[in-house]
Amino acid sequence: MISLEDLYSLIESTFDFLLAVDDNEKIHYVSPLMKNICSAHSSEVIGTHLKGLLDKNSLLSFRNAMKKVSHGDRGVLAVFSTGTADSIPIPMKVAFSKSVTGGFYLIFGKQADSLRQMNDWEKEERVKELSCLYAVAEWIEISKTIRDFFTKLPPFLAKGMRFPDEATVYSVYQGIEYGQEPQVDDFIGTKLFVNGELKGEIKVGYINGEKKLLPEERKMLNQIGKMLSLALERKELSESITLKQGEEEEFRKRLTELEMEITTRESELESQKQKLKTVDSYLSRVNETMDESSRRFETMFKAIPDKVVMIDLNRTVVMSNRDSIKPGENCFRTCFKRESPCVDCRLSRIIKNRIPITVTFRDGDQYLEVHALPVFNRNEEVEGIMEFYRDVTLEKTYEQQIQQADKLASLGQLVSGIGHEINNPNQFIRGNIKIVKQALDDMLPIVDEYQKAHPELKIARLKYAFFREHIMTLVDDMGHGSERIKGIVEGLRGFARKDDGLLVDNVDINTLIGATQRLVQNEVHKHGEMLLQLSDDVRLFQGNSQKIEQVLVNLIVNAAQAIPDDRKGLITVTSSMDKETVVVEIEDNGKGMDEKTQRQIFDPFFTTKRAKGGTGLGLAITYRIIEEHGGHISVTSEPGTGTKFTIRIPAAGNGEERS
């Protein structure tokens, strides 16, 4: 049966922290390293209770774990924390056993660095140590002579080493050398004392100096040395050919003592073997728990919908939840296909400021929101960052549309008053120009007769002939300008307020497209041809037919005017259904637009045709009409290739099937 002291010693040889607690939560034992941690909280730990040592959360964790293991659960963890300012929570295992005085709990764990380094080979080393001890003890018993034993000793000792094939074993006994002496500085050795006299030595090392000897191997050799010293003493006595009659009784007595010591040592080795099995069982359960936790973490990490990347100080990807991002590559190359770090590098900023940051930037056709967090080591130094990437392209598109709508709404509040102020004086101008023109028609014949008698006549400091030739043109230009002002004001009024017409028509978009083709035929014919691709399954939707027709006319005329003179133009108009949405696309092969122009195309008064009389209100009004119908209009374009406008108007709930 294993004593408590033996069990404590065995567990401490494998774990860094150990507490022994009885049913009343009284502490009976604490390991040295654990005592150092607790000393900052209490000078004496043994004899105290958990309640006086742990903080509230840690105490609750211990009690829950102790309750579970007392009912037969295994692999139960608790978190040790004293609650002091410098206290670091330590995950610990809890086990339960019964003693003669009642039940008691063993709570043990390892430091974080030791836990990460714990491998299966450490347990295997302990097993190999016991196997080696048994093999050596058995061989010395069955060897015929001491020389025979030392000759065959190397293979038995090599089996207990971590790398048996590369181990070299050397021994010397009573001046006779066996095996090859290690040629490296790093080796282990043990002295052989027989009857208190130094009779020999054993040295063990590795042929390759890069292989490091383990503390367990040194311990094993020391145990073998002690055992051999006793066995050799008995062996020498048994090999004596002649014994003095007076020494025979002493020899038998000493031989009996040696046999008892060897039997005791073998019993101790067997006990160590049983203890090792117990610890091995604990370690196996700990490893199983760690493997299960690792699998759960990996599953949760992969399930995060956003892209997550951990990056070290060298801008190298450590891990990611996306298979397309390979660990070991530079973050800027594998994430963004760049050959150099980003201009606004999040890693550099976090190393400097040590705080999380969130930025939004454009990557090709995407807008990405990146939330970057610092990753600290045990010394509170930044050793990397964790970045979470979220695609906010759709949100950005909606934001731009909201901004567009806000601009239109703000402008609408100003337009009505401005239109009224402009239209009033323009009415006087239009009316007076007609009177002036009629007066000139009546007066000019009279002046013509007068000029014949007075050839040097000048009007407005202009020679009469020049004045007479251009005066009516000037008056007509004034009239056209006044009419143009009237048209702009009417357009502004239409933009500033929603049309009074109700959205009560059952709009047949195919019929409107056909009617629009007839209206704009002359304008389109100047630049190219028009192709209709209309789907028969397009549904009716509720709206205002006149306004939708205005939208179609505006977009088709703009498409025609965008076609260069040196190119045969083609304007394609298509209609289709996308689930419950009516879709109309108007595409041309004209000059196209750059990205900056596309962003401003729906702004009031923005136009690329100002020299040709463009007011910049057509597409703004078009945007407002589609918005009134609960729809959406978008544009895609490439300079030199062409432009496509896409209109989407919902038909669900307010549409009918075409008859």
- β-strand pairing of 569-578 with 528-534: parallel
Mean pLDDT computed over every residue of the chain: 78
Evaluate if residue 6 carries a pLDDT over 60. no
Asked if the domains 120-241+248-276 and 505-650 are classified in one and the same CATH topology, the answer is no
Average pLDDT (316-336) is 82
| Distance of alpha carbon 371 from alpha carbon 390, whole angstroms | 8
Query: Which pLDDT score is estimated for 616?
Result: 64
Highest mean pLDDT among 93-97, 152-156, 601-605, 619-623: 619-623
Query: Which pLDDT score is estimated for 538?
Result: 92
**Helices and strands counted in the chain (H then E):** 18, 23
Average pLDDT (155-178) is 82
Instruction: Indicate the CATH number for domain 120-241+248-276.
Output: 3.30.450
Query: Which pLDDT score is estimated for 352?
Result: 86
Average pLDDT (349-356) is 87
Among 264-273, 368-377, 444-453, the minimum mean pLDDT is found in 264-273
The DSSP symbol for 359 reads E
Among 95-109, 299-313, 369-383, 595-609, the minimum mean pLDDT is found in 95-109
Instruction: Indicate the CATH number for domain 505-650.
Output: 3.30.565.10
Query: Which pLDDT score is estimated for 127?
Result: 46
Higher pLDDT, 577 or 71: 577
| Distance of alpha carbon 103 from alpha carbon 82, whole angstroms | 24
Contacts for 377 with CB less than 8 Å, ≥ 6 apart: 383
What is the identity of the amino acid at 76?
V
Query: Which pLDDT score is estimated for 492?
Result: 58
Through-space distance between the first and last CA atoms of the chain, rounded to whole angstroms: 95
Instruction: Indicate the CATH number for domain 4-113.
Output: 3.30.450.20
How many beta carbons lie within 10 A of that of residue 402, not counting itself?
Answer: 10
Homologous superfamily of 308-390: PAS domain (3.30.450.20)
How many beta carbons lie within 10 A of that of residue 10, not counting itself?
Answer: 18
**3-state SS assignment for residue 379:** coil
Name the residue ranges covered by the structural domains of the chain.
Answer: 4-113, 120-241+248-276, 308-390, 396-496, 505-650
Distance of CA 233 to the CA centre of its chain: 68
- β-strand pairing of 197-206 with 187-194: antiparallel
Evaluate if residue 115 carries a pLDDT over 50. no
Query: Which pLDDT score is estimated for 243?
Result: 47
